[in-house]
A and B are shown apart, each in its own frame.
Chain A
Amino acid sequence: MLDGYADAGNTMTQDHDMTQSPTDTRQTVAEFVGATKRFGEVLAADRIDLRIRRGEFLSFLGPSGCGKTTALRMLAGFESPTEGEVLIDGREVGGMPAYRRPVNMVFQHYALFPHMTVAENVGYGLRQRRPRLPKHEIADRVIRALATVRLDDFAQRRIWELSGGQQQRVALARAIINEPKILLLDEPMAALDAKLRGEMQRELLDLQRSLGITFVLVTHDQEEALSMSDRICIMGHGRIIQVGTPQDLYDRPRSRYVADFVGKANIVEGQIAARHSGWAQAALGNGVHVLVQDEPDDTRTHVDIAIRPEALSLVRRSDPTPAATAALPAMVTHRTFLGDHTEYLLTAEGIGTLQVNAPRAAERVAGGHDVGAYVHVLWPEQTGLVLAADS
């Protein structure tokens, strides 16, 4: 422990830049350094490098089997990395067993102890402390923890007498009562129905703000990650693909993988015609030029360009094209009315399939488009984005 704090002292005088100072434990509560985990042939985590900031709400997002749980379990101490390191509070914890780590986990299926009451479950962590805590202190803190998750009246209940949502709260109370440095949550909402999930998400956020504990959440639900996280870490095939704020990932995905995973995106090929300080003029497959965001030091000429369906709009071929907008000729193939917006699928000449989401308000004024209609897809300047990575 002392090592970690000594390091923290040193860094007080250093620059705040997270990417520069390697042991800034004021801001970094935990860190993966080239952490790799193999299960025989399977590479569950592949050279993970990540800093978890103190007090942040971080999500691991990715499809099933991409290594999210493995990453979380390396933090908790249930798996030790095959290569690389995991640090908590600036201290390498490779040899530290789970029961010594200052982190707590909310398990996917809660893993509540069936032979104990709700109160006994919640107080379990405190009863493990050595030297022992006074009984009345444990009792007080159990009562407070139960109040925090609004289960005051359930202290003496048995676990199997609780609903799924209540069990989840018990699991939460059982973890936060220990005041961990990091609270790990492995798909805690997966077993709840949609309505309850929304409620729990809000409660979890409130809890995180009031406790100030670092939360690390594993989920494969992008909406959950987008709505709750300060930062999201997108994973794929055991690797970290991109880390950023939800807005960052949505507005500036670096790869097709992220663009596809966070929201929906049209991805079209383009040939760079000109570049200018962060913007690129690109020719699409049909010869039309669009002006899109570009990475400053990109030198490729053939690139993938991503644009969100809601950034595009539709007009009849006969309608005039607004200024600073490219018009792509296309035909409507599918039309799905979704209440607040209508989802169009179109075939655009020389480009392929495009999706356009038209807000209901706009459709009310200008009218919709039928399947088979020939239209122009409008691509406003500076809305697309050149994807930095190829895959």
Chain B
Amino acid sequence: MAMTQFRARALLLTPAGLWYAALLLLPLAVVLIFSFGERSAIGGYAPGFTLEQYANLPARFAAFRNTMTLAPLGTVASLLIAYPLAYFLAVRVSPKWKTMLLVLVIVPFWTSILIRSYAWIFLLGGKGIPALLAQIGLDDVRLLNTPFAVLVGIVYGYLPLMVFPIYVALEKLDKRLLEAAADLGTPPWRAFLQITLPLSMPGVLTGSMLVFILLMGEFLIPAILGGGKVFFVGNALVDLFLQSRNWAFGSAVAVALVVIMLITVALYTRAVKRFGASRDDVGLM
């Protein structure tokens, strides 16, 4: 009995376990080993044990700085735009329109981020918004290839990922709680702060974490809209692994990135614990 149960469980977990080992642990181990190695003369990796690569990390300071500022900033900006949108969809829209509007939120996901980002090159480029600004007397505004352009691209690309978890949390919120709050003397705006906002925190935290983690690894949007001027760690990795073929240093950069992510996740988990106590619906991580 116990044996069959054990076997069944083992059988059920095998695919996930193999997946986990092959696609996560193995590459991580390889990267970790590489990060202590050296660049061979012809590029690629030469075995060794040195901390030289880590000592070199400050050389890529700009990439880390950009990532560590634009990723949180992008997350916050997405959140500020996504929350009202999700609130509107979950609370205000009649059920008739809900599905259609939700589909509209996902539609951009159906085209590649590459194509969508190119559209922004036009919009932010000389003939787009700056041209319009010139008409009202604001000459020489540069938008493309600035951190701002990258931020716009980030918010645009990641908005649905932020909207959905918040939408789900708000949709699940028992509207009678708001009536109870009103009944007990709370005007609507205060009820929002005291009831709606805290109870949608799980969605906010999930969405933020999803977007933040994905942003930390982002390289397409900075490459396209940052025009090689606003580098992310992701771009540094592309460069180190594919162009300069310095695998050892690339690995050290990657390890540093993973460590930063782990710390963030740990902080997130603690935040969730504080907000949601033992509520069972606190997000994906």
Q: Which of A's residues lie within 8 Å of B, judged by CB?
A: 76-78, 97-100, 103-105, 107, 109, 111-115, 124-125, 128-129, 158, 160, 174-175, 178
Contacts and interface: CB of A to CB of B under 8 A. Distances in A.
27 contacts: A78-B182, A98-B182, A99-B181, A99-B185, A99-B186, A100-B185, A104-B184, A105-B180, A105-B183, A107-B179, A107-B180, A109-B176, A111-B174, A111-B176, A111-B177, A111-B179, A111-B180, A113-B177, A113-B180, A113-B181, A114-B279, A115-B199, A128-B184, A128-B186, A158-B278, A178-B184, A178-B185
A329 B195 CA distance: 67
Given A78-B179, A98-B179, A158-B277, A115 B198 contact: yes
B187 interface: yes
A99 B180 CA distance: 9
A172 to B, nearest CB: 13
Contacts of A97: 182, 187
A99 B190 CA distance: 11
A83 B174 CA distance: 29
Interface of B: 174, 176-177, 179-188, 190, 195, 198-199, 277-279
Contacts of B182: 77-78, 97-99
B199 to A, nearest CB: 6
Contacts of B188: 99
Contacts of B176: 107, 109, 111
A88 to B, nearest CB: 14
Contacts of B185: 99-100, 125, 128-129, 178
B200 to A, nearest CB: 11
A128 B182 CA distance: 10
A97 B189 CA distance: 13
A113 B184 CA distance: 12
Instruction: Name which of B179, B188, B199 has the most chain A CB atoms within 10 A of its CB.
Output: B179
A104 B190 CA distance: 18
Instruction: Name which of B180, B186, B187, B199 has the most chain A CB atoms within 10 A of its CB.
Output: B180
A124 B194 CA distance: 10
Nearest to A99: B182
Contact of A125 (B184, B187, B198): B184
B174 A124 contact: no
Contacts of A109: 176
A115 B198 CA distance: 8
Contacts of B277: 158
Nearest to B179: A78
A368 B77 CA distance: 83
Contact of B183 (A98, A112, A114): A98
A100 B198 CA distance: 24
A114 B177 CA distance: 9
Contacts of A128: 184-186, 190
A174 B179 contact: no
Contacts of B179: 78, 98, 105, 107, 111
A103 B186 CA distance: 13
Nearest to A97: B182
Contacts of B199: 114-115
Instruction: Name which of A104, A107, A115, A175 has the most chain B CB atoms within 10 A of its CB.
Output: A115
A111 to B, nearest CB: 4
Instruction: Name which of A114, A158, A175 has the most chain B CB atoms within 10 A of its CB.
Output: A114
A125 B181 CA distance: 8
Nearest to B187: A99
A174 B177 CA distance: 13
Instruction: Name which of B184, B187, B277 has the most chain A CB atoms within 10 A of its CB.
Output: B184
A160 B184 CA distance: 21
Contacts of A174: 184
A125 B190 CA distance: 12
Nearest to B280: A160
Contacts of B198: 115
B281 to A, nearest CB: 10
Given A98-B179, A128-B185, 13 more contacts: A76-B183, A98-B183, A99-B181, A99-B184, A104-B184, A105-B183, A109-B176, A114-B279, A124-B184, A125-B185, A129-B185, A158-B277, A158-B278
A76 to B, nearest CB: 6
A268 B5 CA distance: 68
A198 B35 CA distance: 72
